[in-house]
Amino acid sequence: MMNDLPDEFERLRNRLEALERRVDTLEHPLAADWPHPLAEVESALVAASAAVEPPAQPGNLFPVLGKALLGIAGAYVLRAVEETSAFPRLIVAAAGIAYAFLWLVWAARLRGGPRSTSSIYAGTSALILAPMLWELTLRFNVLPAAAAAVVVCVFGLTAFALAAFTPRDLKPVVRVACAAAAALALALAIASHVLLPFIVVLLILGAVCEFVPGCDRVPEVCALVALAADAAIWILIYVYFAGQTGHEGYPALSRGALLAPGIAVFALYAASVGVKTVLRARPIAVFAIIQAVLAFLLASVSLADFGQPAGLAILGVACLALSPVCYVMVFTVFARAPDRRNTTVFAGWGAALLLAGSFLCLPPVILIPLLGAAALAAMGLSRRERWTVFEFYGMLFLLAAAAASGLLTFLASALVGTPSGAPAVGVWLIAMCAVLCYALVQQREAERWIPQALRLGFAALAAGAVTALLVDGLIALVSLRVMPAAHHLALIRTVTLCAAALALVSGGAHRQRRELTRLGYAAIALVAVKLITEDLRHGHLAYIAAAIFLLAFTLIAAPRVARARQKA
């Protein structure tokens, strides 16, 4: 009787559901096609419960661990057979490799049970293969390094293939097998001193991780393979760049073989970033940014070390060719994307490539105008709401142009050092660019400290350039009558700085630009410091009195000028 109760409840439940549907149909004629919420929830719960695997209990893991130990014992049996010399070592080696692969296949073909079972069996496969390959390659010299590299590559690719053609989730198997393959490849490359075959293996595994669909579900494996490849290539560069005495015991490699790994790793991960961000429209991952930068550094160091005498020039041309590509991506592909990460990253890469390429291969006559034009273009773009980040790149280009043209050196010598003569054409050009860049700066409401600091930097560079040019002009005028002495130079600087301070305070109050007001008061502080360190030191009383009078007048007039301009 009790067994019939569940059936009665089920029939009653079905009748209530049918009655509910009939009422909904009478009240709403279109409700007959509506999904039943209870049925959807129940189906989701059933699917979720079916997807949940049984938890790993200690009682369940003990038999799994026992089988794994039996597998390792079998490997030791093969090792003992190899030492007896009853069979050729090459045949025993092939049997041992096949034995390790069988454990990997078994880990992938398991049905049911906890997920840790697959991980344990895949780990058993790796523990069988790694010591065996190590001894066969380094101790017994049965396998050459290239053959060992092929075995490691096939082992990692087998894990990917099993994951691709098996309906079960094989992320544990892929994690263990590919991590073991990457670590074993790097270890054998270091121990055998034959780096190139294992670098090729790591690049193949990296290409599979980046381009085969589904591999992005194990990003930790992709990261591990990429870092192993980076480490192997860094070791190659370090060993072979040391000269003949630095790589004794390593095979000789041609220049092409030394250049190929660095260029290949950059091409691989640059293509991966392009495919994922452009073709698949995904935001670039943080590790992809780091890996792309590391790969570019590897290619750059390879060209600089092994591509002489034209390696740096080739690197500069490559940077100048890649920089427009980054900006084309920013302005076309990522311009309307809701996520701004790709825009920010590619714009930063474009700026860095432009700077690097310009300094590596362009003469000053082209470098200075190019950087000045780049600064103005970046400031023009920053006036748009979505491109405010270009203010930072404008400052970067302007500072680079100022350093390349000698503007920074001229500014320091004119204001606090020994004047170095008439400024060059490049100094005038970049000074004009600094003024125009500050004129293009757009003031926005509720700005954070970074935009304010950038505006202050533009204003300081523009005001400093104009003040330095005025000091140089006054010195040239004075030199028409007398040879300027130290006290003449000190007074000229005091006059110019006091005038600049009043102009900055007035302009800041009139235009409501706080950065100009701050620079004005900073100029007054500079005059006070200069009065002690320069004017008083030269000891000419008349000129000292004039400097003190000018400083006092500026201290009194600056607040009044600011208040007057504010009222106006």
pTM (two decimals): 0.81
Alpha helices in 275-389 (DSSP H): 286-306, 311-328, 341-361, 364-382
**pLDDT of 237 over the 60 cut:** yes
Q: Is the dihedral of CA 89, 90, 95, 98 positive or negative?
A: positive
Alpha helices in 213-275 (DSSP H): 219-241, 255-274
pLDDT band at 533 (very low <50, low <70, confident <90, very high): confident
> Got the DSSP string for 490-526?
HHHHHHHHHHHHHHHHHHHHHHT-HHHHHHHHHHHHH
The predicted model gives 94-120 an average pLDDT of 81
What would the pLDDT profile of 150-178 be if each residue is shown by its tens digit?
999 999 999 999 888 776 677 888 999 99
**pLDDT of 28 over the 80 cut:** no
Q: How far apart are the first and last CA of the chain?
A: 99
pLDDT band at 26 (very low <50, low <70, confident <90, very high): low
Domain chopping of the chain, boundaries: 65-249, 363-484, 486-568
**pLDDT of 234 over the 80 cut:** yes
pLDDT for res 45: 31
Phi first, then psi, for residue 430 (nearest 5°) are -75, -30
pLDDT for res 42: 39
Question: Do the Cβ atoms of 60 and 113 come closer than 8 Å?
Answer: yes
pLDDT for res 540: 76
pLDDT band at 189 (very low <50, low <70, confident <90, very high): very high
Average pLDDT, the chain: 84
Residue type, 96: G
Question: Do the Cβ atoms of 289 and 311 come closer than 8 Å?
Answer: no
Of 291, 53, 44, residue with least CA distance to 171: 53
What would the pLDDT profile of 494-517 be if each residue is shown by its tens digit?
999 999 999 999 888 887 788 898
What would the pLDDT profile of 286-315 be if each residue is shown by its tens digit?
999 999 999 999 999 999 999 888 889 999
Angle, CA of 412, 415 and 421, to the nearest 5°? 75
pLDDT for res 248: 76
pLDDT band at 482 (very low <50, low <70, confident <90, very high): confident
**pLDDT of 565 over the 80 cut:** no
pLDDT band at 85 (very low <50, low <70, confident <90, very high): low
Q: What percent of the chain has pLDDT over 70?
A: 81
pLDDT for res 25: 58
Residue type, 499: A
